[in-house]
Amino acid sequence: MVKRKSLDENEPECGKGIPFAIQTFLWSQTSAFLRPKLGKQYEASCVSFERVLVENKLHGLSRELSEAIQSISRWELVQAALPHVLHCTSILLSNRNKLGHQDKLGVAETKLLHTLHWMLLDAAQECNHEPSLGHGWSGGGSGSSAFLQPVGDQGSSPGAPGSSPGSEEDENARAKLFHKSMATVELFVFLLAPLIHRIKESDLTFRLASGLVIWQPMWEHRQPDIPAFTALIKPVRHIVTGGGIDENPSQIPARRCWF
């Protein structure tokens, strides 16, 4: 397991930036999907996304990139990578027929969809076990910090202060799952909703079977019943004062992140 730098519990994470080496890595993987004609390079990108994000393996990466990844929490890396994975997934689904995978997903597509399913369904639970997550505020990793929510501040929901201790850890893990910005949720809908019928039920077998809880409701034009689309989010209100912009999210009511 990769050891990452711990964050002070009282230090807000929303102001932390993603190291340049990680941004370069993510864009280099995404660039293989942006070519006028998809070659074989995208297959290596699918493997890299799965190894680094899902399997948490840094073997074979440059020293600079490895140190950059270890300097932030795994959850921050997942949030930063999600918009890239969404774009790549939408491009592969759009080109599924051209790639000759009408009847069966290829190995690369399977790896990328597995990565996306893990990020949406399992990442929060796994990242919750890492001490580097800390507490306080967790910002969206999509490049927009417009929507933030305090970790553990779930009001009267299970897992909030005063609830049974046994459920608190699981509920906090569920809560962390969607401290992504609203822009990321919108990106998912914008990119993948028009392509839902490019994924067939026969595709969702073995390691992709968990994704049925995402795609089945969307095939039926319903909201997936997972925290990714039902968690409360709270926008940050920007108050312009003489001393600059004062961000005060506590005075704005939370709302559901699915539209």
> What stretch of H or E contains 255?
strand 255-256
For 120-139, the pLDDT digits (tens) are 999 888 887 765 543 322 33
175-210 confidence digits (pLDDT tens): 544 445 677 788 899 999 999 999 999 999 899 999
Domain ranges of the chain: 20-129+170-230
Using the structure block, give the residue that is written with the tokens 């067939």.
200
Per-residue pLDDT of 137-170, as tens digits, reads: 233 333 332 222 333 333 333 333 333 444 565 5
Eight-state DSSP code of residue 100: T
Q: What is the pTM of this model?
A: 0.72
CA dihedral in degrees (24, 28, 30, 34; nearest 10)?
130
Is the pLDDT higher at 232 or at 89? 89
Q: What is the pLDDT of residues 40-83, one digit of tens each?
A: 889 999 999 999 999 999 988 999 999 999 999 998 999 899 99
The pLDDT value given to residue 112: 95
Q: What is the dihedral of CA 211, 217, 222, 223, to 10 degrees?
A: -30
Question: Cα–Cα–Cα angle for 24, 30, 32, nearest 5°?
Answer: 115
Which DSSP state fits 52? I
